[in-house]
Amino acid sequence: MVLTVRVVIRGTGHTRRGVLGVAAATLGSSALAGCRIFDSGPDRPSAPDPLQPVLDEAVALAAAYDRAAAGQPGLAKRLTPLAADHRAHIAELTRVIGGTVRSAGASGASSGSPGPGTDAKVALAELRTAERSAQRTAATACRTAPAARAALVGSIAACRATHAEALR
């Protein structure tokens, strides 16, 4: 583009001001084109919401508790209220993000969760590890969240920390 402008100068003797005007106009239009291509194209899927990972983990954790309770009926009474907390988080996060809930299988956090036959102690330890990891995700999201979301995500981070404590 710069080369083209120089050629124009030599060939036609345009004043500097005129050339700069052309250059500015050219830059302006390419910047607009850039906007269309990279920033706000209606066909391009929008970037995931920063709270999507927090929601995904809530979905995965709720499912992990269900599986653990199914595999260890003796733990069900202890685990059911914690799963209910995650379901409350899913409802709030879904409302705030304004999207739909993906299935639990989509998240890697559920892959190592306990299933039938797992020892109760192991099941609790695995859930505790998952809660701690999910707490870190929520804490990180809280630090960078806009003011309107900070309290909600902060409460979710704190709740996950209390789950890790309740599983001890």
**What residues line the site for other proteins (CB under 8 A)?**
81-82, 84-85, 88-89, 92, 135, 139, 142-143, 147-148, 150-152, 154-159, 161-163, 165-166
Closest by alpha carbon to 54, among 118, 131, 111, 167? 131
Q: Based on CB atoms, which residue is closest to other proteins, 29 or 162? A: 162
Residue 24 beta carbon to other proteins: minimum distance, rounded to whole angstroms: 37
Residue 71 beta carbon to other proteins: minimum distance, rounded to whole angstroms: 21
Q: What is the DSSP letter of 35?
A: I
Using the CB atoms, write b or e for 58-83: b if 16+ within 10 Å: bbbbbbbbbbbbebbeebeebbeebb
Residue 92 beta carbon to other proteins: minimum distance, rounded to whole angstroms: 8
- E-only strand ranges, the chain: none
Cα–Cα distances (Å) from 14 to 4, 23, 26, 29, 77, in that order, read: 13, 12, 16, 21, 84
Q: Based on CB atoms, which residue is closest to other proteins, 56 or 85? A: 85
Q: Based on CB atoms, which residue is closest to other proteins, 63 or 156? A: 156
Residue 132 beta carbon to other proteins: minimum distance, rounded to whole angstroms: 12
Q: Based on CB atoms, which residue is closest to other proteins, 19 or 125? A: 125
Cα–Cα distances (Å) from 114 to 90, 107, 134, 149, in that order, read: 21, 15, 16, 32
Residue 161 beta carbon to other proteins: minimum distance, rounded to whole angstroms: 5
Q: Based on CB atoms, which residue is closest to other proteins, 88 or 97? A: 88
